[in-house]
Amino acid sequence: MCGICGIAGTTESRVIEHMTASLWHRGPDDGDVAVFPAHNLALGHRRLSILDLSPRGRQPMQNEDGTVWVSFNGEIYNFRELRATLDPARHRFASESDTEVILHLYEELGAKAFAKLNGIFALALYDATRERLFLVRDHLGVKPLYYTEANGKLIFGSEIKAILASGHYTPELDWQSAHDFFSFLFVPAPQTIFRGVQQLPPAHWLEYDLRARRIVRLERYWDVALWGNHQPKANAQELREELRPLFADAVRQQMVSDVPLGAFLSGGIDSNLIVGLMAQHAAQPVKTFTVLFDEPGMDYYDERHEARRVADRFGTEHHELPIDLSQPEDMLDLVECFDQPFGNTTFFLTYLLSRYTKQSVTVALSGAGGDELFGGYPRYRAVQAMKYLRLVPRAAAKAGLAALSRVQDSFADRRWHRIRALLSGLDRDPARQYLKWVYYLDEERKTQLLRSREKQPAAAHRVLQSHLAHLPRTWDDGNRFSYLDVETFLPDNLLEYSDKTSMAWALELRVPFLDPRVVELAFRIPFHLKLNRAGSKQILRQTFADLIPAENLRVPKKGFNVPLGRWMRTKLDRYFDERLPRAYVEREGIFAYDYLQQLREEHRRGQRDNAYELFAVLIFDTWYRKYLTGALPFTAAAVPRATASA
């Protein structure tokens, strides 16, 4: 697991060295650069050694004759199987690494090789003979890759900070992306908050002509939409019999490591299954890591009892981290992990848990993806009833909202918020309806909050519409919106914070649920076998019933988050007065000061839970000051280190 970067258009050593240094935190074990004057290209690499720890695994890596080079971030889980298919008469291996398999597979198959890789990866491959550079990202977007064309150069990196460190791109705000951020609390790919900087979409490869200096192709190599949901009358027993060995094999493959390995363990089903299957394959007790919330009133968030049952069941070496929530303002400085404004506060817990976990292991398995694939989110209940909810008269919905407006919000959880969103989101357009159910500021409220510097930006629901339009009409609503989340919410939100906060501590997170084979099977399962009257994730619960403690089956889903509603009334509220006084807000011209105060007042009084909308303002302003105005310090080569009590 590493950091990669490169620039086509200059071979100036200080440029690529500066870019590579900005990614030190992703790969503290080693680093190197390779310069190719013939094509005015430079590649950089920072290494976190996981497989083949010897110098033979060093990157950028070349084939036998130096005609193909690769700078690679990630893990290829099927590299041994792929290596066995290669003609030994044609290829000479110098290492035991998965990286070298990529080189030789490309020699045989060209760009078709990328679809054969099962793993988490972002890579840059240089073909000197064809005068081409390829940028490639894994099937589900677990590993990030950003690029821009600026001043006649192609500049790319695992994080945007590498592009900024090149000195050949001038940061500029993309207003459309800013507008979208306040709806989603993340910037939807392929956009980024920086004008002209793109994120390579999952399951895509980009081909760049080094002679002509231009991108000649951007191609998708895998899409679950092509074969998903084709078994509406599928036999449930047969699907369970297929799911069990497949997921067990995904876990087994992802346990391959030459360094210590463990797992994140919450009280949920997903991490429970991963730990149970790891225990079946491990020669030693599995190391597990979870967080504790000891502050009064935090019972809603605490899953220690459920996690301990799993740990006891499988005899794990269990580690618990009591989270220190006394300084939530630390979250604001962590914008440097992302280089963009990012508003899902789960990143704070993942950051602290990653820091703690790294003290014991270098690789950890995570349950990311289980909710999206197997109907784990409460919103999927509404999706199942979507076609009926559209028939609710607007007058009845307005009356319900009016009645709820007199109910004070409980900031311990967001149930009232969800009910209000359900009623206010009723719409004949499925994308617009889902946006209001799941996300934050709609177009009307953004118009009141934001002072656009350009022409009126496009509505945020267009992002969701484009993905839904891609699906065959034969798909059921449950799998349609599950697919939508896999295309948007998963890579741009959940996997975004998982990668950035874990790699801030050089901890590799692996995600067995996102093995492409598991994803393909999940979308062949009718949604009613995942979520029904008996509850969520039913096919998982039935398939792996022997691995789940009985008491845990009866515990409602809690989620992994912080008490943001409470903080925004107390510890974080003062930041609006300190950082966003009227004079500053009106001078910068981004926010409408009076509407911002209205959001604060509604939240203080409990009229409306505006915690995430207000946090979005704070995190955006922090990013803006660090990256565009320089009013707050920014250190491109180092990620801020928050503290946690153990």
Residue 217 sits in the same domain as residue 230: no
Domain annotation covers residue 611: no
Closest CA relative to residue 57, chosen from 99, 21, 106: 99
- pLDDT at residue 646, as a whole number: 28
Domain annotation covers residue 34: yes
Residue 128 sits in the same domain as residue 266: no
Residue 147 sits in the same domain as residue 254: no
Closest CA relative to residue 200, chosen from 152, 153, 155: 155
pTM, full prediction: 0.92
**Beta carbons of 25 and 506 less than 8 angstroms apart:** yes
- pLDDT at residue 327, as a whole number: 83
Residue 245 sits in the same domain as residue 357: yes
Find the CATH number of the domain harbouring 255: 3.40.50.620
- pLDDT at residue 419, as a whole number: 63
Counts for the chain of helices (H) and strands (E), in that order: 30, 17
CA 88 – CA 104 distance, rounded (Å): 10
Domain annotation covers residue 85: yes
Count of other CB atoms within 10 angstroms of residue 607: 14
Domain annotation covers residue 465: no
**Beta carbons of 345 and 561 less than 8 angstroms apart:** yes
Domain annotation covers residue 641: no
* CA Rg value for the chain: 24
Find the CATH number of the domain harbouring 93: 3.60.20.10
Residue 9 sits in the same domain as residue 21: yes
CA 136 – CA 111 distance, rounded (Å): 10
**What is the count of structural domains for the chain?**
2
Domain annotation covers residue 142: yes
Q: Listing from the earlier edge strand, what are the strands of the sheet with 204-209?
A: 61-62, 68-76, 119-127, 132-137, 204-209, 214-220
CA 475 to chain centre: 25
- Out of 222, 251, 283, a domain closes at 222
Residue 49 sits in the same domain as residue 129: yes
- Out of 553, 582, 603, a domain closes at 553
**Beta carbons of 169 and 163 less than 8 angstroms apart:** yes
Domain annotation covers residue 15: yes
- pLDDT at residue 395, as a whole number: 62
- Out of 154, 188, 222, a domain closes at 222
Residue 266 sits in the same domain as residue 279: yes
Does residue 337 have an active-site annotation?
A: no
Residue 248 sits in the same domain as residue 354: yes
Residue 435 tokens read as 């946006």
Residue 205 sits in the same domain as residue 351: no
> What are 322's strand-pairing partners?
292
Give the residue carrying structure tokens 């790919």: 189
Closest CA relative to residue 562, chosen from 408, 344, 379, 357: 344
**CA neighbours closer than 13 Å in the CB half-sphere of residue 577:** 8
Count of other CB atoms within 10 angstroms of residue 267: 22
Residue of 2, 311, 421, 639 marked catalytic: 2
Sign of CA dihedral 404, 408, 410, 414: positive
For residue 627, the SS3 value is helix
Closest CA relative to residue 265, chosen from 552, 643, 556: 552
Q: What range defines the domain where residue 296 resides? A: 225-328+337-375+481-553
> What are 352's strand-pairing partners?
none
String of DSSP letters for 411-457: TTSSHHHHHHHHHHT--SSHHHHHHHHHSS--HHHHHHHB--SSSPP
CA 534 – CA 586 distance, rounded (Å): 53
User: According to the 3-state scheme, what is the secondary structure of 310-346?
Assistant: HHHHHCCEEEEEECCCCCCCHHHHCHHHHCCCCCCCH
**Beta carbons of 498 and 560 less than 8 angstroms apart:** no
Domain annotation covers residue 170: yes
**Beta carbons of 375 and 518 less than 8 angstroms apart:** no
Blockwise average pLDDT, block size 10, the chain, 646 residues: 92 95 90 94 86 69 93 94 88 82 95 96 98 98 97 96 96 96 97 98 98 96 81 81 97 89 94 97 94 78 90 96 85 94 95 96 96 94 76 62 59 59 67 90 93 84 94 89 97 97 94 97 94 94 95 77 87 93 95 97 90 96 93 52 30
- pLDDT at residue 259, as a whole number: 83
**Beta carbons of 124 and 200 less than 8 angstroms apart:** no
Residue 287 sits in the same domain as residue 367: yes
